[in-house]
Amino acid sequence: MTSRALPRKIFQGAAKRADMFRMFDRHTMRPDRFAGDQSAVYAGEWFEIDETSYSYMLDILPPLWMRGPIFAMREFMSGSVTSVFYAIRIDEAVRYFHTYCDLSDLASVEAMRTAIIDRETRPVRGMSREERLEHIWSTTTDDYRGYAGACWPTAMQGHRTVMLYGGSEGTFLKLLDTLSDDEIAAKLPVHLRHLPSALAA
């Protein structure tokens, strides 16, 4: 499945360098990875990083372009989608972000910046259901996440799955999008389980 809502925060907190690199392609196991245009899989994804990671990515290769504190990588992930890094002042502090923008849309870079500011300046800290699911997907290792294959009903094939522990029943796979509130809470780290969930996605 390649359609995703845009834009979307995929990780809570500021990712360190190892997490950042792992999330650059958190869809690497999808069954249709090399089939057609994969731009919709990536475009719109964003997460916060630390200043060290931002500086490292700025220095690793000459950027495709740089506009003040925003720069784009010259290596494209898919089609016209590439990494764009931002340094944005929010609530008197400079924070750093990685995003995937589709540069075929001339407005995408500024639209992403606006979306990040809107999300990060909301008065109540919280997570939408979608953000909880994306955080679970981002932090689950490849051994415990995947995609529904041929043994699943046709309508479910290609959808993301995660491994759950069922107590005496052992482990089992479940579609990510169908996790119950209790299952979501069990997969989230303790400090994120009780955040309010009334935010719009």
**Above 60 in pLDDT, residue 4?**
no
DSSP codes, 145-195: EEE--TTS-GGGTTSEEEEEE-GGG-EEEEEGGG--HHHHHHHS-HHHHTS
Q: Are 4 and 27 in contact (CB under 8 A)?
A: no
Least confident segment among 24-33, 104-113, 157-166: 24-33
**Above 80 in pLDDT, residue 123?**
no
Residues in the chain: 201
Highest mean pLDDT among 81-90, 142-151, 170-179: 81-90
The pTM of this model reads: 0.87
Kindly state the percentage of the chain with pLDDT values over 90: 62
Question: Can you tell me the distance from the alpha carbon of 4 to that of 34, in angstroms, rounded to the nearest whole number?
Answer: 17
3-state SS of the chain: helix, strand, coil percent to 5?
35, 30, 35
**Above 80 in pLDDT, residue 35?**
no
- What average pLDDT does this structure show over 107-132? 90
Torsion angle, alpha carbons of 102, 158, 98, 18, to 10: -150
Question: Can you tell me the distance from the alpha carbon of 149 to that of 31, in angstroms, rounded to the nearest whole number?
Answer: 8
Residue spans of the domains in the chain: they are 8-120, 129-193
Is the CA virtual torsion 62, 68, 69, 71 positive or negative? negative
Kindly state the percentage of the chain with pLDDT values over 70: 93
**Above 80 in pLDDT, residue 1?**
no
Mean pLDDT, the chain, as a whole number?
88
- What average pLDDT does this structure show over 7-19? 92
For position 192, what pLDDT does the model report?
Answer: 78
**Above 60 in pLDDT, residue 40?**
yes
Q: Which pLDDT band, with edges at 50, 70 and 90, does 3 fall under?
A: very low
Query: Measuring CA to CA, which residue among 185, 196, 193 is closest to residue 123?
Result: 196
Least confident segment among 107-116, 167-176, 187-196: 187-196
What value does the CA radius of gyration of the chain take, rounded to a whole number of Å? Answer: 17
